[in-house]
Amino acid sequence: MIYIRLILISLWLVFSCVIGIVLCLVRWGDSNLNATFSRIFSWGAIRISKVELVIEGKEHLYAHQPCVYIANHQSGLDMATFGAIYPRGTVLTGKKEIVYVPFFGLFFLGAGNIRIDRKNRRKAVQSLEEAGQRVKKEKKSVWIFPEGTRNATGKGLLPFKRGPFYLAVSAGIPIVPIVSSQLGEIVNWKKKTFRGGKVFIRILEPISTAGKTAADVDSVLKEAQQKMLEAVLSLSERQS
């Protein structure tokens, strides 16, 4: 069953990307395409996955834009679960190699998203500075996974990268944390199971960066990580 569902989700992803690419031809650089694509892909993927989403804190999703949205990253299924709430007017950040991913890479570029050279710290910082300038100029929000990679354990949170918090502080915009309950019970690669079930997503209250400077980045990071960890543990208890 796991392979059948994975194949169906992959086919739906290709279909969603094709629609996104067609839209890019007439709306190149429009960041709202991210939300359009996310809704299309999520609609099909969560049904194939037999996932029931429970969303909490919806009132915080648009109330604080422009902002930096940060979310925990567990697996490829994140794109389906978080896609259901992905906010309009928000760009993604991704490693520069993402443009080479068939179908999705072209859409990522056409939707005006931000590529970051993670192997080159100087260029990565430059990309974040450019993202901060774009946020200020275009009033766009940014979605980032602060862990920087998937948390394969499905437990707690990995250490956070400083980039998202540096961006938020330099742009003087709030941080809106979003957390998902554990996905390990939905998809378990070791056991080769794909069971479906309830997934809880909670949009937390914003963390202000007003008056903060580069010297405050680490304290803002720690505050965000603590609040997200508490929420992850709380949601996972409800899921069990």
Give 25-94 as a DSSP string: HHSTT-THHHHHHHHHHHHHHHHHHTEEEEEE-GGGSSTT-S-EEEE---STTHHHHGGGTPPTTEEEEE
Place of tokens 């996104």: 20
Q: What is the mean pLDDT of residues 52-66?
A: 95
**189 against 215, higher pLDDT:** 215
- pLDDT at residue 142 greater than cutoff 80: yes
Which segment of 79-88, 115-124, 171-180, 213-222 scores lowest on mean pLDDT? 115-124
* Domain ranges across the chain: 2-239
Is the domain spanning 2-239 CATH 3.40.1130? The answer is yes
Residue 28, φ and ψ in degrees, nearest 5 = -55, 130
- pLDDT at residue 68 greater than cutoff 80: yes
Give me the sign of the Cα torsion angle 193, 49, 239, 94: positive
Q: Tens of pLDDT along 23-58? A: 998 999 888 999 999 999 999 999 999 999 999 999
Which segment of 72-86, 150-164, 207-221 scores lowest on mean pLDDT? 150-164
Residue 79, φ and ψ in degrees, nearest 5 = -65, -30
Q: What is the mean pLDDT of residues 91-115?
A: 85
